[in-house]
Amino acid sequence: MSFSKQRRQRFISEAHYNEFTNDLAETIRLRSECLINDKSLSQKAIKTFKWRIASSLLEVQILNYTAGSPIQELVQSFTITIDAFDSFISIEERKQGEALTLEITQLDAYVYVMWLLSLAKLLGHEEQIPRIMGWINKNAEFNRHRDGLFEYIVQKLTPETGPIERTLLHADVYRPLAKVIVSPAEERPAFVKAFLDGWYKKMKDCYWYGSHTDEVGHSSYFGYWAFEAALVTFLWDVDDSSYRDHLYYPKDLIDFARSRTEQPSPENDLGPQRVVASQPCSQSGFWYSPAKQNSRAQFKQGELMPDFPDSTYGATIWYWDADQD
């Protein structure tokens, strides 16, 4: 299939996809190598590099979705993205007068959190939702019980219960989506469509807005997707037939999520994914860890995975290598 037929959004070209994919891969590689090898890095530099790695990995995920990659590929790589965010959050500390990076009072951060929760649920990585919520609860004073839409979604995704106030931090953008969850079923599709219709033009303050207009080689466009619309559609079982083909609606993701609900896959369909250091190897074969350069090695099932405690990259986590030759 040609790239133009495979892509999921018309703004992306094959030239841009190849160029930006290489740029992001180089960004991740260079910063990862610095974290591993340079013991003189300041805390500020370590924090900056870890954030750039995490955000670049998320952009890679979305870019691949935009370009038409199979959903299964996103499923397999998502945990690496979450681990990178975890490594960043673990060292972030609040400074006087500054907001934390994932403080949802900021629109950019609110969107990021919505994207992460949406991808975790829609890709079938529900086990990552408590980790994401741990980052949010670390800054509960500013992140919790201040936005009704967010709290309703959290109660759908976690065992949390309790009354929720109908207040919105970013009402201009999210009011239509919030109406979905408090409206009768027959009225919900119209509210999701209204949200999608206004979503992009109300995201002007986000760093990625307008990136599709940049020249190839200078563009940071990775896709415009209202993943939160798909999440609400899935969680509240909204009939999406009237907006399935909307430019910003990730219909392939929700189709994947719904197919899993209808026909659950065996737990081992994806094969081994990750093993934390000092835990037994889950399957014999080749594994690698971003915590050490050229770490790829072969392990036997049951063998304890090595730890690299001196690495400035963060926790040592081993990933199954798709190439087992």
Q: Which domain holds residue 305?
A: 273-325
Is the confidence at residue 222, as pLDDT, over 60? yes
Q: What sign does the CA torsion over 170, 176, 182, 188 have?
A: negative
177 and 296 in a single domain? The answer is no
Given 270, 299, 315, which residue is the final one in a domain? Answer: 270
Residues 6 or more apart whose Cβ sits within 8 Å of residue 274 = 79, 80, 83, 317, 318, 319, 320
Tell me the whole-structure pTM to 2 decimals: 0.84
96 and 221 in a single domain? The answer is yes
238 and 133 in a single domain? The answer is yes
Given 270, 294, 309, which residue is the final one in a domain? Answer: 270
- The pLDDT assigned to 144 comes to 95
- The pLDDT assigned to 19 comes to 94
316 and 193 in a single domain? The answer is no
154 and 194 in a single domain? The answer is yes
- The pLDDT assigned to 113 comes to 97
- The pLDDT assigned to 166 comes to 86
What SS3 state is found at 81?
helix
307 and 194 in a single domain? The answer is no
Confidence of residue 309 (pLDDT cuts 50, 70, 90): confident
- The pLDDT assigned to 316 comes to 85
237 and 285 in a single domain? The answer is no
Q: Are 104 and 169 in contact (CB under 8 A)?
A: yes
Confidence of residue 312 (pLDDT cuts 50, 70, 90): low
Q: What sign does the CA torsion over 36, 39, 43, 48 have?
A: negative
306 and 198 in a single domain? The answer is no
Average of per-residue pLDDT values in the chain: 91
**Per-residue model confidence as pLDDT tens digits over 253-278:** 999 999 887 644 444 444 457 888 88
Residue 288 CB: number of other CB atoms within 10 A?
15
- The pLDDT assigned to 15 comes to 93
52 and 91 in a single domain? The answer is yes
Higher pLDDT, 248 or 314: 248
230-249 burial, b if ≥16 CB within 10 A, otherwise e? bbbbbbbebebeebeebebb
- The pLDDT assigned to 226 comes to 98
51 and 147 in a single domain? The answer is yes
144 and 284 in a single domain? The answer is no
Is the confidence at residue 295, as pLDDT, over 50? yes
**Per-residue model confidence as pLDDT tens digits over 109-157:** 999 999 999 999 999 999 999 999 999 999 999 999 999 999 999 999 9
Mean pLDDT to the nearest integer, 87-98: 87
- The pLDDT assigned to 269 comes to 44
- The pLDDT assigned to 260 comes to 83
Given 250, 270, 290, which residue is the final one in a domain? Answer: 270
* Farthest CA pair distance, the chain: 60
Is the confidence at residue 68, as pLDDT, over 70? yes
**Per-residue model confidence as pLDDT tens digits over 176-219:** 999 999 999 999 999 999 999 999 999 999 999 999 998 766 78
**Per-residue model confidence as pLDDT tens digits over 22-41:** 999 999 999 999 999 988 99
- The pLDDT assigned to 262 comes to 60
291 and 223 in a single domain? The answer is no
Number of structural domains in the chain: 2
Residue 127 CB: number of other CB atoms within 10 A?
10
